[in-house]
Structure formats: structure tokens, C-alpha cells
Amino acid sequence: MSDNIAATDSLADSTAEGTTDTTPSTGRWGEYTDLTRNGLWDNNPALVQLLGLCPLLAVTGTVTNALGLGIATMLVLIGSNVTVSLVRNFVPSEIRIPVFVMVIATFVTLIELFMHAFTYGLFMALGIFIPLIVTNCAIIGRAEAYASKNPWQLSAYDGFIMGLGFTLVLVLLGAMREIIGQGTLFDGAQLLLGEWATSLRIELFAVDYPMLLAILPPGAFLGMGFIIAAKNWIDQRREQQRKQAPAQKAQRARVTSQ
């Protein structure tokens, strides 16, 4: 099973340095641990694979929008991964991409209708970016790279954790832009969660003039750049610490021998 993962993830791994030298865990839950680490950090769809940047950059003006689109994407990802995994043995490989796209489009339509019915305000706020989830490369990427080669339970978990990784980055970027831009958090949360959520709105500081740059698209690019830089910095530091660790042990041995 671990061989299987290494093979299927090789597509994305070529961009991710972190995954190449981490040995896959073994055992019954090892697979799930690997998936978790990949989805949230080592192979995060937004930070490492850099997939689905269009919605990522377009709708992260506020935490609410980011959370709404993130959850919608996650649900589509889980649904499409499970379905693709279930039909994987019946689909001829020549036409697998059109089939995957049809599956994804079905789930996006479902989500869109649900949002239209239950979170109308958010539906209006996200606009074209809900139907555009179909074109989010992260979804078809997971269908192709993972779900089409693995059983449905694992695929469902992969969809969930990849969606979660994507959502976390969306929310982080949304929070950064909302705080810098207008000094609030969870502005308009009632669009997503219902009327009670109006009280969730936190005003961190009052601004007379919003910093429009953060709210406009350039702010998304800048913020994304900073998040990716921060991730690479953390990875680099970990790498250095790992390299230094054996050297420290040797030093200690010498000290005790004296």
C-alpha cells in the first residue's frame, strides 16, 4: 500500500521536496497518517501543489467568504473522490478525465443548489466562484492521482484532509486580508451560519480608511506569497534542526567521556 502512495503521489511530489525523504508510515493507520500529513502540510493543495489559485485569490476578502468556499470545495472533493474511487474499475482509462469531470460537475451542481437554498447571501457573495469549483485543479488532481487508484474509504479521507488543508489556507489568507483591510474578523458570518452569527463579528481595531490594497486582488497575491514564504522558512528550519541533531549527540558523548 505504501508503494502505491509513493507512485500515485509522484505527480505532486515532484514539486514537494518535503515528501520525498519522509518514509511512509506502515501499519493499518499509517496510510491515514501519511494522508493527513500530506494534505495539511507536505503536499498542501494550496501551498505546495499551488492548485485552485483562482478561487483562492478571488474570494478570500473575508474569513466568511473563504470559509464558505473552502467548505464547499471540501464537500465536492469528498463526494468526487468517493464516487471516482467506486467506479474506478469500470471506467476505461481513455475516457477517465471526461468521466471525472462529469462526476465533479454533478457534485458542484448539488452544492450550488444547496447554497442557493440555505445560504443565499453567501451564494450571492461568492457568485461565479461556486460553479467554478468544477475547474479547481486540486479536485481533478486528487481524482486522478489518488481516488482512481485507491479504495473508497481512503479516498474519502484523502478528499476530506486535502479539502481541509485547502480550507485552512483559504481561511488564513481571508483572515490576514480582513484584518489588514478592514480591521475585523468574521464580518458577514451570518451569511454562512445564520442570524445568530452576527455576534461573531469581531472588530479588532477601528479604521477610518480601509487599506484597500489588502482587500483588492493584489493583496491576495501578496498575502499568498507571504504564507508560502513562511511555510518554506519553517520547512527549512526543521531541515536544519534535523541535520544538526546527530552532531549534538556525538558532542554529548565526548563530554561525558571526559
Q: Using the rule CB under 8 A, is 218 a contact of other proteins?
A: yes
Rank residues 99 and 214 by Cβ distance to other proteins and give the closer one. Answer: 214
Residue 196 phi, psi (nearest 5): -60, -25
Q: Using the rule CB under 8 A, is 212 a contact of other proteins?
A: yes
Which one of 213, 237, 240, 252 is in contact with other proteins (CB under 8 A)? 213
Stretch that binds other proteins, among 14-22, 91-99, 161-169, 214-222 (CB under 8 A): 214-222
Cell representation of residue 100: 471525472
Rank residues 135 and 232 by Cβ distance to other proteins and give the closer one. Answer: 232
Rank residues 120 and 221 by Cβ distance to other proteins and give the closer one. Answer: 221
Q: Using the rule CB under 8 A, is 228 a contact of other proteins?
A: no
Rank residues 197 and 228 by Cβ distance to other proteins and give the closer one. Answer: 228
The residues, ordered by sequence, that sit 6+ positions from 235 with a Cβ below 8 Å of its Cβ are 17, 18
Q: Using the rule CB under 8 A, is 230 a contact of other proteins?
A: no
CA distance 97 to 131: 18
Q: Using the rule CB under 8 A, is 179 a contact of other proteins?
A: no
Interface map 191-210 toward other proteins (x if CB under 8 A): ------------------x-
- Among 187, 165, 190, which Cα is nearest to 177's? 187
Rank residues 124 and 212 by Cβ distance to other proteins and give the closer one. Answer: 212
3-state SS class at 184: strand
Query: Taking the complex as a whole, how short is the minimal distance between the CB of residue 222 and other proteins, in angstroms?
Result: 7
DSSP output for 74-92: HHHHHHHHHHHHHHTTTS-
The residues, ordered by sequence, that sit 6+ positions from 99 with a Cβ below 8 Å of its Cβ are 84, 87, 91
Distances in whole angstroms, Cα of residue 20 to Cα of each of 6, 14, 167, 194, 220: 9, 8, 24, 44, 30
Contact residues for other proteins, defined by CB under 8 A: 209, 211-214, 216, 218, 222
